[in-house]
A = this chain, B = another copy of it.
Amino acid sequence: MIAHAQPELTKNQALVFGSLSDAGGPLTAYAILDLLRENGFRAPLQVYRALDKLVEYGMVHRLESLNAFVACSHKGCAEHGTAAFAICEICGDVSEFTPDEVIKLLKEWTQAEGFTLARTTIELRGTCRDCISQPN
């Protein structure tokens, strides 16, 4: 079994990551703050600083169109390429996937343009299968 060295998380980072993992879906920074008040969190910066690191480590993704954050859905958050997200506007469910062919095409575009790509945001908004089939 290949063990990717997970970074050693600080107390606050571990608390924030735990909140997101337990939630099983996206949370805003302020929602995390409220969840962690009983753990001693008092200010938004405590959340944002932890999130910055977790995003840097690839363990958490930021959803730009929601201003929210979600734990990476991959087991152990093994490193993976750019992720895309399908966000259901009815139930709030978020599906993460890695559209490698899409990424490849976008990279080709950037190379043709001389654009140096740092990071890519792909977010699909719509209605998930369950919510479509539900009458309400």
A→B interface (CB under 8 Å)? 64-65, 84, 86, 88-89, 95, 97, 99, 101-102, 105-106, 109-110, 113-129, 132
The residues of B that contact A123 with a CB separation of less than 8 Å are 64, 120-121
Q: Which residue of B lies closest to A131 (CB)?
A: B116
Copies per complex of this chain:
2
Say yes or no: A115 contacts B97, CB within 8 Å: no
The residues of B that contact A95 with a CB separation of less than 8 Å are 113, 115
| Bound-state Cα–Cα, A80 to B124, Å | 17
| Bound-state Cα–Cα, A123 to B82, Å | 12
Given contacts A105-B101, A109-B97, contact A126 B118 (CB under 8 A): yes
10 example contacts (A-B, Cβ-Cβ < 8 A) are as follows A64-B123, A97-B109, A106-B122, A115-B128, A116-B126, A116-B132, A117-B126, A118-B125, A118-B126, A120-B124
